[in-house]
Structure 1
Amino acid sequence: MKSCPRCEASMDDSARFCSECGAPQTEEAAEELDQYVQRQAKQVAAQSGGIRGDGGSTGGGTGSGDVTAADVFGVAAEELTEREQLWRRGTYVLGYATVVIALTQIANPGAWFLLLGGIAILPPTRRLLGLPVGGTFKREAMAGLYAVFVVLGAVLFFVL
């Protein structure tokens, strides 16, 4: 009889896993366990995240009412399509660039509208504003809100 290197329990020589602690005893058993854990992790993530094809979440979550980082920031980048990744990167660049421009001109009243527009187009804002209604706002709605704020800000820049 051999003993488990992890917990020192006695076990049969042909055992693939320890009967006391569950540790794999062979490389093949370790690989099998790793694959099982990865499958289970994907299944749990899909069930708890309520992942949709549009990169959003159905708002299912854990049902406890707590807001998690996944609720705010959305799904991981590798779960997004190429088009969704491009949209997300573009809105981050556009949002932060608008915020920076607004902050450099903060003395002008138009800068406040630019600041609001820059914040509105950022993906976390879209998710946060959508949490009370159980989903995310449409990208088109946030882009429209951004356009309205930027146009108002630009008009105020030139009028004042």
Structure 2
Amino acid sequence: MKTCPRCESSIDDGARYCIDCGAPQTEPAAEELDEYVQRQAQQVAAESGGGAVGGSGGEGQTGGNGDSFASMAELTDREQLWRRGCYVAGYGTIVVALTLVPQIGAFPLILGGIAILPPIRRLTAEPLGSPLKREVMAGLYAILSLLGALLLVFL
């Protein structure tokens, strides 16, 4: 028996895919999986009217305001920096607020930390019709964080 290079679980010598993680174990299996993924991506793009697959059209998968629903490899350096900064600020604020939970000012801090996280933009896109702009999310973060800080100081 051999082990999967991805998850290191034991698999049969003739297995095409890992039974635990699904990683292809042979070149033909990898090519088959790649073709399947490409077909699925084209089908999703055709159904959503997104145009070109892979974001080569600039705004094809971005929602028009710089937050791509594609992988990090397809984002520009500035967009990657923005997204990483949002994660650091959001999760950092949430962690600090969780240490202060008994106090009333912690709750706006938690909401502010959640508001700036990039996945929240995607979650708000469906009910609102389009994702909120980065500036709106940063504004919500600033307002809620300031409100939380003021409540912590004065109460």
Q: TM-score, normalised by structure 2?
A: 0.62
Give the 3 Å change call, closer, same or farther, for CA 104–148 of structure 1 in structure 2. Answer: same
State the match for 2:10 in structure 1.
none
Displacement of 1:48: 5.2
Give the 3 Å change call, closer, same or farther, for CA 147–79 of structure 1 in structure 2. Answer: same
Gaps of 5+ in 2: 1-27
Q: Contact 1:55/1:84 (CA < 8 Å) preserved in 2? A: no
Displacement of 1:46: 4.8
Q: Return the alpha-carbon distance in structure 1 between the equivalents of residues 60 and 99 of structure 2.
A: 35
Length, aligned pairs only: 114
State the match for 1:63 in structure 2.
none
Q: Return the alpha-carbon distance in structure 2 between the equivalents of residues 88 and 102 of structure 1.
A: 21
The partner residue of 1:95 within 90, 102, 109 is 90
Calculate percent identity across the aligned residue pairs: 47
The partner residue of 2:103 within 102, 108, 122 is 108
Q: Return the alpha-carbon distance in structure 1 between the equivalents of residues 138 and 61 of structure 2.
A: 16
Q: Return the alpha-carbon distance in structure 2 between the equivalents of residues 82 and 45 of structure 1.
A: 26
Q: Return the alpha-carbon distance in structure 2 between the equivalents of residues 98 and 42 of structure 1.
A: 36
Q: Return the alpha-carbon distance in structure 1 between the equivalents of residues 71 and 153 of structure 2.
A: 41
State the match for 1:16 in structure 2.
none
- Structure 1 residue 123 and structure 2 residue 115: aligned? no
Q: Contact 1:56/1:136 (CA < 8 Å) preserved in 2? A: no
Q: Return the alpha-carbon distance in structure 1 between the equivalents of residues 42 and 112 of structure 2.
A: 38
Q: Return the alpha-carbon distance in structure 2 between the equivalents of residues 45 and 91 of structure 1.
A: 28
Gaps of 5+ in 1: 1-29, 59-72
Deviations, residues 18-72 of structure 1 (Å, cap 9, x unaligned): xxxxxxxxxxxx8xx88x94875665565456355396347xxxxxxxxxxxxxx
State the match for 1:83 in structure 2.
78
- Structure 1 residue 53 and structure 2 residue 59: aligned? yes
Q: Contact 1:108/1:157 (CA < 8 Å) preserved in 2? A: yes
State the match for 1:147 in structure 2.
142
Q: Return the alpha-carbon distance in structure 2 between the equivalents of residues 124 and 78 of structure 1.
A: 17
Q: Return the alpha-carbon distance in structure 1 between the equivalents of residues 60 and 106 of structure 2.
A: 32
